[in-house]
C-alpha cells in the first residue's frame, strides 16, 4: 500500500541522492519558495496578458529542473 509506507521518491530525497547535504537542500527549497513567492506577488501586479506570458516563462524555465529531478536516483516504493 503506497499510502501506508514511507516513500523515498520525494524531492528532498532525490536531491540528497544527487549529493546535496541536508542544509543545502533546505536552503535550495527555501530559495525556491522565495523566488516563487516573489513571482506570485509580481504576477498579481501585472496585466492579464503580461502575467500569462510571465507565468508561461516560469513554467518553461522549470521544465528542465523537473526533468533533471526525474532522472535522479531514488528508492522505488514497494507495492505490497
Domain segments of the chain as ranges? 23-70
SS3 63: helix
**What is the tens place of the pLDDT at every residue in 54-76?**
889 988 988 998 888 888 777 76
C-alpha span between 43 and 35 (Å, rounded): 12
What's the mean pLDDT when you consider all of the chain? Answer: 84
Q: What is the pLDDT of residue 9?
A: 72
Q: What is the pLDDT of residue 2?
A: 57
Distances in Å between the Cα of 49 and the Cα atoms of 37, 39, 42, 58 are 20, 15, 13, 14
Closest CA to 35 of 54, 17, 21: 54
Q: What is the pLDDT of residue 34?
A: 96
Cell numbers standing for residue 19: 549529493
Amino acid at each position: 500500500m503506497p499510502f501506508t509506507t514511507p516513500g523515498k521518491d520525494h524531492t528532498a530525497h532525490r536531491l540528497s541522492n544527487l549529493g546535496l547535504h541536508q542544509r543545502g537542500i533546505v536552503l535550495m527549497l527555501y530559495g525556491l519558495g522565495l523566488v516563487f513567492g516573489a513571482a506570485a506577488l509580481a504576477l498579481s501586479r501585472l496585466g492579464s496578458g503580461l502575467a500569462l506570458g510571465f507565468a508561461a516563462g516560469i513554467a518553461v524555465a522549470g521544465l528542465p529542473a523537473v526533468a533533471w529531478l526525474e532522472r535522479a536516483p531514488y528508492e522505488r516504493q514497494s507495492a505490497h
